[in-house]
Structure 1
């Protein structure tokens, strides 16, 4: 089984790989350097479902918390960001509690 975590955290492919930086994907990464769902016959069978779920969650967060006519969306992590455990998938050790609210522009 390929060690995708090692590929995804390789400083030869990603600048400062330990830092959360979504903007690094504004330019497509080199082939076979970012494979969050595996590849080939060993690809995750639920990858399309996972992508759809992420789109649905993003849609609801954006549509309910950042309407430009009503206010601005604010998101904060509540509690500890104490680290990530790998086994075999990366998840926050203490969960990732988040608070969302709207702020009025007026």
Structure 2
């Protein structure tokens, strides 16, 4: 899947609008995209053990680390903005209700 989306991200470099011919490839051709993704997935099972799999393992580990780090930052940012919103509502209106909601959620 990483190779599939890497290929599409490289194809979409400098596409500014949906009028670009490459944008039609991105927005359509679902049968061919699904077939390509399925073909890449099935083909990956036939890669023999060797230096490629070792290198790909480390690339996958680095990608997974970056993915988890980004998700953690997004989760913390979401919780922080949610908390700010609720504290603001506590200060403006019925604080007892918002304190109860914050207590139940936490």
State which structure, 1 or 2, has the greater radius of gyration over its C-alpha atoms.
Answer: 2
TM-score (norm 2): 0.26
Report 1 or 2 for greater relative contact order, CA contacts < 8 Å, sequence distance ≥ 6: 1
Between structures 1 and 2, the one with greater helix share: 2
TM-score (norm 1): 0.26
